């Protein structure tokens, strides 16, 4: 899970930021910069886009502090803003048009922007495989398997149902396995939706 925790923030910071303290606002940015950037990069392949989105998230957070009612975790609220902002980007007309156009050129080109892995070794393979998933499958596998969202929550975020989220999770796992396993090393017969 990306490290969204209220421990990152000194007590009273959010209240001071709401009252207009520039220092408190900066403290919020510093505390959540790494988790927000990491989550954006996982949901949106293409580091430049993800960095721009991370910046958008902080603008959203710092201009909407009044909407945080203080009932739940502030870190959880920042994470929810990040997820909403990234999903909004993935569903934007621009993003869809670009993916459609590229797909016509290259049937396997599920990633339309250059991906710069943040890590080395095996993790690079996994990051690249993740980036090659379709936008929805990638979002679902990350939100469910890593961030701990339920299928019902993901379905609601994507404007679908829990069943839709489940089928996308299975699709993501099947595709990741395909991408990560070397040619000819296929494990058991494991259909996504049909029997062996």
Partner 1 sequence: MHARLHELLSLRDGEPVEAAVRAHVAGCAECAAALAGTEALRERLRALPPAPPATADGWAAVAARVAATRDRGGRTRRVAPLAAAASVAALALFAVLRWQPAPAPEPAASAPSATQARSSVEELRSRSQALEAALSALPARPAVVRAGTALPIESLEAQVQWLDHQLLLADAGEPAADAERLWHDRVEVMSSLVQLRYVEAQLNP
- Interface residues toward partner 1, by CB under 8 A: 1-3, 22, 25-26, 29-30, 33-35, 37-38, 41-42, 48-52, 54-56, 58-59, 62-63, 92-94, 97-98, 101, 104, 118-119, 122-123, 126-127, 130, 141-142, 145-146, 166-167, 169-170, 173-174, 176-177, 180, 187-196
Q: How deeply is 128 buried, as exposed, middle or buried, from its count of CB atoms within 10 A (0-12, 13-18, 19+)? A: middle
Toward partner 1, which CB reaches closer, 71 or 183?
183
Q: Where are the alpha helices (DSSP H) in the chain?
A: 13-18, 22-43, 47-63, 74-90, 93-105, 122-132, 135-141, 151-157, 162-180
> Minimum distance between the CB of residue 193 and partner 1, rounded to whole angstroms?
7
The tokens describing 67, both together, are 């909407």
> Minimum distance between the CB of residue 159 and partner 1, rounded to whole angstroms?
19
> Minimum distance between the CB of residue 146 and partner 1, rounded to whole angstroms?
5
Contact 53, 40 (CB under 8 A): yes
Closest C-alpha among 32, 34, 35 to residue 147:
35
Contact 78, 61 (CB under 8 A): yes
Toward partner 1, which CB reaches closer, 49 or 136?
49
> Minimum distance between the CB of residue 70 and partner 1, rounded to whole angstroms?
20
Toward partner 1, which CB reaches closer, 9 or 141?
141
């Amino acid at each position: 899970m990306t490290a969204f925790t209220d421990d990152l923030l000194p007590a009273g910071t959010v209240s001071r930021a709401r009252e207009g303290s520039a220092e408190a606002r900066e403290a919020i940015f510093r505390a959540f910069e790494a988790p927000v950037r990491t989550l954006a990069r996982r949901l949106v392949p293409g580091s430049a886009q993800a960095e721009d989105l991370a910046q958008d998230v902080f603008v959203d957070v710092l201009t909407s502090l009044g909407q945080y009612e203080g009932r739940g975790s502030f870190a959880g609220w920042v994470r929810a803003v990040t997820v909403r902002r990234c999903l909004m980007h993935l569903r934007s007309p621009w993003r869809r048009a670009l993916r459609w156009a590229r797909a016509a050129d290259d049937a396997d080109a599920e990633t339309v922007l250059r991906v710069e892995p943040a890590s080395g070794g095996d993790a690079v393979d996994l990051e690249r495989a993740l980036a090659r998933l379709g936008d929805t499958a990638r979002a679902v596998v990350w939100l469910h398997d890593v961030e701990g969202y339920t299928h019902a929550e993901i379905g609601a975020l994507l404007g679908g149902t829990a069943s839709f989220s489940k089928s996308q999770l299975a699709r993501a796992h099947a595709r990741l396995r395909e991408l990560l396993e070397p040619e000819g090393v296929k494990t058991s017969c494991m259909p996504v939706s049909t029997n062996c």
